[in-house]
Amino acid sequence: MTDKSILFEPESFTLPENIGISEEGIILLYNTYEIAPYASGIIEFTIPFEKVKSYLIFNSF
């Protein structure tokens, strides 16, 4: 991550309370002030399924 307005060090990364799933992957949604100044607004990261599939358990019923 190269955005200098993000307010955490790589060693102190925490998952947000708001996590979702889309067709593209897992969405991490940080509210204002969680990791950046208010002016940055809500920050949303999408991690593609290809990058995280080894960490996920898929159920098929």
Could you give all domains of the chain from N- to C-terminal order, each with its CATH number?
Answer: 10-55 (3.90.640.20)
Lateral strand order in the sheet of 43-48: 18-21, 25-30, 43-48
Provide the whole-model pTM. 0.68
The tens-digit pLDDT sequence of the chain (61 residues) is: 555 555 566 677 788 999 999 999 999 999 988 888 888 889 898 999 999 988 888 776 6
Give the DSSP letter string of 1-61: ---TT----GGG----SEEEE-SSEEEEEEPTTTSS-GGG--EEEEEEHHHHGGG------
